[in-house]
Structure 1
Amino acid sequence: MPKIAKISVQRKNKERYNIYFEQKGEGEYAFSVDAHTLTQFRLTKGLELSDFDIQDIQYQDGVRRAIHHAISFLSIRMRTEKEVRTYLKQKDYSEEVIQEAITYCLQQKYINERDFAFAFVRTDVATKDWGPGAVRRRLYEKGISLQLTEEALGEYPVETAIEKAMAIVEKALASMKKESNIQRKQKCMERLQQKGYDHACIQTALETVDWTQSEEEEADVVQAWVEKLMWKYRQHEGFQRESKVKQALYRKGFSLERIDQALQEWKEENEHGETV
């Protein structure tokens, strides 16, 4: 059986010790352990170790290192079990060692998924504009169970979701001044869906917002589009050109009456054959 020839403190990490075995009269590096493992197994010079002893020592030392890494990772902020597992896998620990570390962290309540889920929801409600659906999806990705997720979402009142949805719509409208009401509503609906708001919340938010445009505002919007599209289709002439402009504006949700009026105004302004 191998016999310990020398034990020395590592240069870069004073909390770990290098173990050397006798090999042809000289010491050959075997493995390293921390001070706790050194004491636990009473490792001293001259001690003989069986293969089983060596495996046990390295396993227990690996568990201690994994626990240390897990605690350091958790000290930055709260984490879920899934996040800690992923982190330890990246450190190349075996599944058995990872499970030992996870069990320890759960027993010591360093990992508390209930506290995590409730804190996560409260933080998202306070700092982000995600809807309940997006919060639910993010918790699922972090490994929180469906039952616990639904409990935690109790921290996200329906009234708050509606208020956030309305704020998103109002902000979006400020950048949609050149769109028809149909397009604006569609884009706002899509944006709210992407952010995780459900159908009922979206409908309430859209119904609460004032979508009205004055006649002058709508006319200006359509007229601006006519100018742009008549330039875009300048390679076409006469009826074909007007037809393409009409089709494009109709798809954008403007009424045919408003489109015809804007086209007539454009033709009157350009009746002298101006090339655009």
Structure 2
Amino acid sequence: MTEDQQADNGLFITLVEQDRSERRRYRIYAGGEEPILFVHEDLLIRYRLLKGQFVDPALLPVIQEEDDRHRAYTLACVYLGAKPRTSKQIEQYLRRKELGESHIAYALQRLETEHYVDDEEYARQFAKQRIRTAQKGSRLVKQELQQRGISRQAAEEAVNAIDAGAELAAAKAAAAKRWRGLKGELPDRKRKLTAFLMRRGFAGDLIREAVRSAAADGIDSDEDAEDGLMLDN
């Protein structure tokens, strides 16, 4: 094949080399030492970037741009595979990968369109989980949501949707567990427990009820233990 024929038909692909670290990405060569493209296999197939084929030089920036967007999207999907993420968390992750802002924006928009990312639903599920299993109050949960990039309004709506009874149960459970490790006279133990529950983000009315419940149960338990000792004698 002459240089004139190659120029008329485009760039002649002389080698297609699979990347060793990313098995679904390929380097495309057209006779030189440096690849003319480095793309995902989906684009390799779509544009028929195969050895012995021609590629129009004018298409190279178009293909590269599409690959950059595709790369941002696939990296985001892998990141989402471990656990749900907020838009902000995905954006920060992709920036650490040194991807362009337009490619990050494309990935986020596509993920939202496909309903893989939904910050409002994430906020609702996160709030329920943190209160139920981590025994944290709505005020702290709201802060945690905003730290994860959830808007103030969405965070507010998520914590407001939490059942008051569920949060009170969480406060009581946290208080009862903490009470067993507190030392000192009754007023001092109540003060320490109140401070502990405040740090966990519970509201004042819930704290008062949880402290009252923990102290009452703790006193009853102490009395039961003393009665048992007396019966053993």
CA contact (8 A) 2:72 2:99 kept: yes
Once the two structures are overlaid, the 10-residue window that deviates more, 187-196 or 4-13, is: 4-13
- What letter matches 2:84 in structure 1? M
The SS at the match of 2:31 is strand
Distance 1:190 1:57, change over 3 A: same
Q: Structure 1 residue 198 and structure 2 residue 206: aligned?
A: no
Q: Structure 1 residue 3 and structure 2 residue 8: aligned?
A: no
Once the two structures are overlaid, the 10-residue window that deviates more, 39-48 or 141-150, is: 39-48
- Corresponding residue number in structure 2 for 1:20: 29
Distance 1:121 1:10, change over 3 A: same
The SS at the match of 2:34 is strand
Q: Structure 1 residue 158 and structure 2 residue 164: aligned?
A: yes
Please give the alpha-carbon distance, in whole angstroms, between the structure 2 residues aligned to 1:91 and 1:33: 16
- Corresponding residue number in structure 2 for 1:71: 77
Please give the alpha-carbon distance, in whole angstroms, between the structure 2 residues aligned to 1:14 and 1:146: 41
Q: Structure 1 residue 86 and structure 2 residue 95: aligned?
A: no
Alignment of 1:250-261 (within 5 A): none
- What letter matches 1:18 in structure 2? R
CA contact (8 A) 2:72 2:94 kept: yes
CA contact (8 A) 1:7 1:17 kept: no
Cα offset, 1:40, TM superposition: 4.1
- Corresponding residue number in structure 2 for 1:141: 147
Q: Deviations over 1:78-126 (max 9, x none)?
A: 2111111112112221111111111111111111122212221222233
Alignment of 1:1-276 (within 5 A): 3-10=11-18, 12=20, 13-23=22-32, 27-43=33-49, 45-50=53-58, 53-177=59-183, 179-210=184-215
Cα offset, 1:131, TM superposition: 0.9
CA contact (8 A) 1:3 1:48 kept: yes
Distance 1:135 1:7, change over 3 A: same
Aligned residue pairs, count: 209
Please give the alpha-carbon distance, in whole angstroms, between the structure 2 residues aligned to 1:169 and 1:107: 43
Give TM-score, length-normalised by structure 2: 0.77
Q: Deviations over 1:149-207 (max 9, x none)?
A: 22222442222222322232332222223x12332122111100111111222123234
Please give the alpha-carbon distance, in whole angstroms, between the structure 1 residues aligned to 2:155 and 2:111: 21
Distance 1:208 1:96, change over 3 A: same
- What letter matches 1:126 in structure 2? R
Tell me the percent identity.
25
Cα offset, 1:46, TM superposition: 4.1
Distance 1:66 1:182, change over 3 A: same
Gaps of 5+ in 1: 218-276
Distance 1:100 1:7, change over 3 A: farther
- What letter matches 2:200 in structure 1? K
Please give the alpha-carbon distance, in whole angstroms, between the structure 2 residues aligned to 1:175 and 1:70: 44
CA contact (8 A) 2:137 2:201 kept: yes
- What letter matches 1:21 in structure 2? A
The SS at the match of 1:33 is strand
Gaps of 5+ in 2: 1-6, 224-233
- Corresponding residue number in structure 1 for 2:228: none
Cα offset, 1:209, TM superposition: 4.1
Once the two structures are overlaid, the 10-residue window that deviates more, 154-163 or 139-148, is: 154-163
